[in-house]
Amino acid sequence: MLTKRIIPCLDIKNGRTVKGVNFVSLRDAGDPVALAEIYSKEGADELVFLDITATEERRKTLRDLVLKVAEKVNIPFTVGGGISSIDDVAMLLKSGADKVSINSSAVKNPNLINQLSAKFGSQCIVVAIDAKQINGIWKVHLVGGKVATELDLFVWAKEVEKRGAGEILFTSMDNDGTKNGFANKALAKLSKNLNIPIIASGGAGNIQHFVDTFKKGKSDAALAASVFHFKEITIKDLKQELKNNNIPVRL
């Protein structure tokens, strides 16, 4: 059985790590390079680095920061934010990223997924999907959650898989930052419908929430931010408890 992955997420704004609730009310959470190095040493399986205002501000991801983070970590490292072309991805992979995450650009130009997968291999193309429930239907949102679309989460996820994405990073905007647990019903449905790994994001508040998303949500990986940044949960304790619950992890 494949081991389940624990992935700290570094949301970056103005060169600093930030964290909010439901995608707003951002507060400072520290230096991203220092945090990345700590998580790499503490046993994180991967890192995700999201330049959260790159799309909104119509600029490219912070390449210099990517270079600095890549120097400090020895685990797979995914970068997202403002990526919209083959050249963007080539630059980031050359700068030290192992994977890239695309979101708004994939919705606006779905063929970009096909192009990137063909050029670089599906293993390094992650499609991030931010969604929240509107009248009981999970609707995809863009530009850091600021722009609603009519796209249904599950329909879009299936198309993303068909176009060659290697993984889906699903963030529940309803759960984000609430510390009330992951959106496990939606995650379980995604896992059932798709054959590529699903990364759960949004809602981690305690160790039990991670246990639940692997058991009930059928997630392949769990991503979290504030519980790690503010030392509410250590990766070592989390992984030990997952192992105690017969969930396969890399210790």
The residues assigned a catalytic role are: 11, 130
Determine contact, residues 216/183, Cβ cutoff 8 Å.
no
Q: Are strands 16-21 and 99-102 parallel, antiparallel or unpaired?
A: unpaired
CA distance 213 to 81: 26
Structure tokens, 206: 């305690």
Q: Which two tokens stand for residue 175?
A: 């759960």
CA distance 79 to 81: 7
Q: Which amino acid is at 121?
A: G
Task: Give me 195's structure tokens.
Answer: 């054959």
Q: How far is CA 49 from CA 109, 174, 196, 202, in A?
A: 22, 21, 21, 15
Q: Is residue 81 within 8 Å of 54, Cβ to Cβ?
A: yes
C-alpha to C-alpha distance for 40 and 52, rounded to whole angstroms: 22
Contacts 24+ apart (CB under 8 A), 104-111: 104/55, 104/142, 104/143, 104/147, 105/55, 106/160, 107/140, 107/142, 107/149, 107/151, 107/156, 108/142, 109/84, 110/159, 110/163, 111/163
